[in-house]
Amino acid sequence: MNENDRIIRTEYSEEMQKSFIDYAMSVIIARALPDVRDGLKPVQRRTLYDMHELGIRYDRPYRKSARIVGDTMGKYHPHGDSSIYEALVVMTQDFKKGMPLVDGHGNFGNIEGDGAAAMRYTEARLQKITQEAFLADLDKDVVDFVPNFDETEKEPSVLPVRIPNLLVNGSEGIAVGMTTSIPPHNLGEVIDATKAYMMNESITDRELLRYLKGPDFPTGGVVINKDELAEIYETGTGKIKLRGKVEYEHVKGGKTNVVITEIPYTMVGANIAKFLSDVAALSETKKTQDIVDISNQSSKEGIRIVIELRKDADAENFVNMLYKKTRLEDTFGVNMLAISDGRPETMGLRQIIKANVDFQYEIATRKYTNLLSRELERREVQEGLIKACNVIDLIIEILRGSKDRNMAKACLVEGKVEGIKFKSKESKIMAAQLCFTERQANAILEMRLYKLIGLELEALINEHEETMANIYRYEDILERRDSMAQVIMNELDGYKKEFGRPRKTVIENGQEAVYKEKELEEMEVMFLMDRFGYVKTIDMATYERNKEAADTENKYVFSCKNTGRICLFTNTGQMHTVKVTDLPFGKFRDKGVPIDNVSNYSSEKEELVYITSQSELNLKQVLFVTAQSMMKIVDGGEFDVSKRTVAATKLNEGDTVLSVVTLYDQKHIVIQSKNGYFLRFSVEEIPEKKKGAVGVRGMKLGAGDSLEAVYYTQNFVETTIPYKSKNLSLNNIKPGKRDGKGVKIRA
């Protein structure tokens, strides 16, 4: 082994713990969560900064998205092009962002969930507000710059955003062990709330809601829990209840169309298609018979989903049904988590505004300190030039008499006259008294002759007066917090005036949607399930006409009430229930639907053992037999449950349910083992137990043996089965007792 190599011995669990914590913190701080100051995640911040560096301003031509993504990835964000492009796409979408930060040109996706075109086809540039309120003054040392990933470039640790962007655009992100979900808000209202805080820093969250009414989603819609918003904005967590906006159109023939013109924010994307399919399913499953047609007429002008109702339909009741059974009414989970002072924190409205205002004061302090420094330098130079113009003849004499620049500069700064040829003794005495500063001397030496023109000199004096005014103003801003606050508020007013938009989302205390479901007319129907597991129901008359075909083509055929439930018993000891109304009702030759689709039953994980109606079970007893020969009788009333899945019986380890049957007039049970043992005994010997019991043993099985089949016989009715190429009469098997070994039957 190389003597320079070192093996560090460490506990595996400690190393895993440390590595996972490092990874988690990296995801939390440097990828998934926004900074409370600029409201941006690192990938968004880096993309915007890169566009700024590339000069892709709002008033310049668009540039290829691929160029932006590649440059960002190469310089600042080495995490793959897809994450950068996705961030760029979202920042262009006006249906996701309250205020888009990027101006996209090309196909950047739509509200219905269609994705953006590849980055090589689309173009982008900065929006005007992004240039003015997010990226301005980066040259004035207003934020800290840090090295990029390979220390070849510098990038801002935070952008100098002048508005509370975290509230305006909101944010969504999933980190390790935590998530953030902040709704977008109206720019004008956010600015009003910020100004209210600046004028009264002791203002409460509830008082701020007089200015910021609540979330303002780009898709509009209606927030219906106004009274709960105060608590949500105090704690930073809660649920906002959203509804789409619905209008009624009266058309010819006395019909009414329900038109959805705005959707809940949570429905953006593929959920619009899901909503349409859910509405169609309401009609298919007979939840409503009011729908004549559904059409999605949405376009660039906005959302327009039209549902045509039949003539005598109750439109309001129908809309209430949509609120109850579809995502036309939905909830937006709020968790206002952001990075504050380098750590994740769940913040209320006032905390977010306070953090942003503190950041504005920090930006303003650094900006005006930098500007004041520049003006002081400018004043120094201007005063030197004005002073030089008053003794310009002497300065020209010094310049002509000096051997080099350094000699002339030494004379101007320190009054050194050695080596300089003067025309008169008086000039030398005056030159020795000069005391320009270093900066003034450089400016004098670099001054052009045209500056000696009278008008130029006058312009210099005016410029000096302007510089003095600026110095006074900057010093006032830096020394008096009120002055700085006024500057910040004036900037905010300017952004509100230029970029403010009317509120889109209505906020109210909506009434609970009350949907009166029409009572289903109870009737007897026939349940059919074929050997492929497809189920359906048909009316009794249809069954009678096709009785022979129905009985031969289907594995399960029985009658039930259309208001009842179907019970499915499986080999894992579970019972799944299905509402009869969830099954397709139609023609005899209709295919039906797979039983897996309408129940919790999974044909990949379990096998069906028995199917019957719940109403039939209520009147009877149920006999269970397992592969390990455990059996019991359970009162059918125990299975009268509304849950979709319950445990029907308790099983020993490794055991499975072999048979479930409803008891009618069965007298004897015959159980057959895999090793060819048969045992016949009276059903009356099987005790009644609760469904949570294991049961009693039916046959003493030999090592490695298990039950293979279960049969039932009646008195005076011959029952035969095929067994080893012969017919075996079960009635001729000598009756025994439960828990016996049975008899071995050979071929």
**What's the per-residue H, E or C state across 510-538?**
CCCCCCCCCCCCCCEEEEEEECCCEEEEE
- Reading the block at residue 444, the tokens are 């004098």
What pLDDT, in 10s, does the model give residues 409-432? 898 888 888 888 888 888 888 888
What pLDDT, in 10s, does the model give residues 76-121? 999 889 999 999 999 999 999 989 999 999 999 999 888 999 999 9
In angstroms, rounded to a whole number, what is the distance separating the alpha carbons of residues 474 and 482? 13
Give the pLDDT band (50/70/90) at residue 73.
very high
In angstroms, rounded to a whole number, what is the distance separating the alpha carbons of residues 646 and 682? 30
Tell me what pLDDT residue 452 has. 66
Tell me what pLDDT residue 517 has. 65
Start-to-end C-alpha separation, the chain: 75
> Does residue 544 sit in helix, strand or coil?
helix
What pLDDT, in 10s, does the model give residues 548-607? 999 999 999 999 998 899 999 999 999 999 999 888 887 888 888 899 988 999 888 899
- Reading the block at residue 172, the tokens are 């969504």
Total H helices, total E strands in the chain = 21, 35
Tell me what pLDDT residue 655 has. 94
Bridge partner list, 63: 124
What pLDDT, in 10s, does the model give residues 490-502? 999 999 999 999 9
CB 305 within 8 A of CB 262: no
Across the chain, mean pLDDT equals 90
Given a cut of 70, is residue 3 above it in pLDDT? Answer: no
Measured at the alpha carbon of residue 271, what is the angle toward residues 266 and 273, in degrees to the nearest 5?
150
Pairing of β 677-682 and β 668-673: antiparallel
Q: Which amino acid is at 43?
A: V
Arithmetic mean of pLDDT, 617-645: 91
Arithmetic mean of pLDDT, 445-468: 81
Give the pLDDT band (50/70/90) at residue 236.
very high
Arithmetic mean of pLDDT, 32-50: 94
Tell me what pLDDT residue 49 has. 96
Which residues, including other chains, have CB under 8 Å from residue 458's CB and lie 6 or more apart? none
Which residues, including other chains, have CB under 8 Å from residue 320's CB and lie 6 or more apart? 513, 514, 515
Give the pLDDT band (50/70/90) at residue 284.
confident
Looking at mean pLDDT, say which of 4-18, 32-46, 380-394 comes out highest: 32-46
Burial 491-528 (b: 16+ CB within 10 A, else e): bbeebbeebbeeebbbbeebeebebeeeeeeeeebbbb
Element (H, E) at 380: helix 349-390
- Reading the block at residue 28, the tokens are 């939390």
- Reading the block at residue 329, the tokens are 């009414």
Tell me what pLDDT residue 503 has. 94
Burial 320-348 (b: 16+ CB within 10 A, else e): bbbbebbbbbbebebebbbbbeeebbebb
Which residues, including other chains, have CB under 8 Å from residue 208's CB and lie 6 or more apart? 193, 196, 197, 233, 349, 350, 353
pTM: 0.73
In angstroms, rounded to a whole number, what is the distance separating the alpha carbons of residues 508 and 143? 41
Adjacency order of strands within the sheet including 291-296: 245-250, 256-262, 305-309, 291-296
Tell me what pLDDT residue 714 has. 82
Active site residues: 121
What pLDDT, in 10s, does the model give residues 314-358? 888 899 999 998 999 999 999 999 999 989 999 999 999 999 999
CB 593 within 8 A of CB 535: yes
Arithmetic mean of pLDDT, 218-238: 94
Which residues, including other chains, have CB under 8 Å from residue 436's CB and lie 6 or more apart? 384, 387, 388, 412, 413, 444
Rounded to whole angstroms, what are the CA distances from 475 to 1, 101, 259, 360, 481? 67, 34, 60, 17, 11
Per the listing, tokens 């509405």 go with: 279
SS3 annotation, 225-275: EHHHHHHHHHHCEEEEEEECEEEEEECHHHCEEEEEEECCHHHCCCHHHHH
Tell me what pLDDT residue 44 has. 95
In angstroms, rounded to a whole number, what is the distance separating the alpha carbons of residues 382 and 371? 16
Arithmetic mean of pLDDT, 384-409: 85
Give the pLDDT band (50/70/90) at residue 519.
low
Arithmetic mean of pLDDT, 698-722: 88
CB 113 within 8 A of CB 102: no
Picking from 92-101, 163-172, 279-288, which range would have the lowest pLDDT averaged per residue? Answer: 279-288
Region of 39 (left: φ > 0; alpha: ψ -120 to 50; beta: rest) is: left
CB-neighbour burial class of residue 251 (10 A; exposed 0-12, middle 13-18, buried 19+): exposed
Arithmetic mean of pLDDT, 722-747: 86
Tell me what pLDDT residue 619 has. 83
Tell me what pLDDT residue 106 has. 95
Given a cut of 80, is residue 516 above it in pLDDT? Answer: no
CB-neighbour burial class of residue 96 (10 A; exposed 0-12, middle 13-18, buried 19+): buried
Q: Which amino acid is at 360?
A: Q
The closest alpha carbon to 130, from 65, 189, 69, 52, belongs to 52
Report the Cα 554 to chain-centroid distance in Å.
46
**Which residue blocks in 602-719 are alpha helix, DSSP H?**
614-619
Give the pLDDT band (50/70/90) at residue 475.
very high
CB 735 within 8 A of CB 680: yes
Rounded to whole angstroms, what are the CA distances from 347 to 29, 259, 351? 16, 38, 6
Picking from 172-181, 471-480, 542-551, which range would have the lowest pLDDT averaged per residue? Answer: 172-181
In angstroms, rounded to a whole number, what is the distance separating the alpha carbons of residues 648 and 576? 9
